[in-house]
C-alpha cells in the first residue's frame, strides 16, 4: 500500500506558474511509475504527465512545453511544475503511483487548481 498526498494547488492568474507536490507514504517509491491527472467538472479524468521509474516522461500536447513532471525518490515525492497556466488548465489534479512490481495503481485525493483573472 502507498498513500499519496498532493499539495500546492490554488488560485492563480493566466500566465502564472504553480508547482504541485505529491508525497508518498513509503520509501520505495523508486519502484513506481508516477503520474499526474486532472479532471474538470463534468469531464473525464485525463493524463497530464507521467514519469517512469527510469525517468522517462510523457506529456499530452495540451501541456507539452508548459508542464514538467519530476521526481525526487529520496524525498518520496513527485512534482508537477506548471508554467504559463491557462484557464482551461483549471481542474482537480491528482497524483497516481503504479507499482512496477504488481501493476497496482494508487491515487491521491487531489488538489484544486484554478486559473482565472
Say what the pLDDT of residue 26 is: 86
Q: Is the pLDDT confidence value at 18 over 90?
A: yes
Cell numbers at 86, concatenated: 491557462
Q: Is the pLDDT confidence value at 33 over 90?
A: yes
Q: How confident is the model over 32-43, as a mean pLDDT?
A: 96
Question: What does each C-alpha distance from 101 to 11, 22, 53, 75, 105 come to in angstroms?
Answer: 37, 20, 11, 20, 11
Q: How confident is the model over 46-52, as a mean pLDDT?
A: 98
Amino acid at each position: 500500500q502507498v498513500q499519496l498526498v498532493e499539495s500546492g494547488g490554488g488560485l492563480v492568474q493566466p500566465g502564472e506558474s504553480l508547482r504541485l507536490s505529491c508525497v508518498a507514504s513509503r520509501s520505495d517509491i523508486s519502484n513506481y511509475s508516477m503520474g499526474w491527472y486532472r479532471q474538470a467538472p463534468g469531464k473525464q479524468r485525463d493524463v497530464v504527465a507521467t514519469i517512469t521509474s527510469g525517468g522517462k516522461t510523457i506529456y499530452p500536447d495540451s501541456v507539452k512545453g508548459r508542464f514538467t513532471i519530476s521526481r525526487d525518490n529520496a524525498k518520496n515525492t513527485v512534482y508537477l511544475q506548471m508554467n504559463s497556466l491557462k484557464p482551461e488548465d483549471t481542474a482537480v489534479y491528482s497524483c497516481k503511483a503504479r507499482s512496477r512490481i504488481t501493476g497496482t495503481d494508487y491515487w491521491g485525493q487531489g488538489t484544486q487548481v484554478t486559473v482565472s483573472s
